[in-house]
Amino acid sequence: MIGGFDQFHFLTRCTPEQTRAEVRRCFAAAGAGGGFILCPSDHFFDAELPLLEAFADEAAMCRY
């Protein structure tokens, strides 16, 4: 499964802590047993750098 991450909210209109929480929520909902690819559904043109950093940092800490 790929996707499930609302990039228009969690990469543009929230705090880094909210972005991190959404990454963890996605992994909790679909990551059990592997096979989940955390991925925004489109591009990063409007993303805020601190939110992209929070996304990548938190995703790197998620393990199956």
pLDDT at 36: 84
The full 3-state SS of 9-64, as one line of letters, equals HHCCCCCHHHHHHHHHHHHHHHCCCCCCECCECCCCCCCCHHHHHHHHHHHHHCCC
pLDDT at 38: 86
Residue spans of the domains in the chain: they are: 7-61
pLDDT at 63: 79
pLDDT, mean of each 10-residue run, the chain (64 residues): 83 96 92 83 82 94 83
pLDDT at 48: 93
pTM, entire model: 0.87
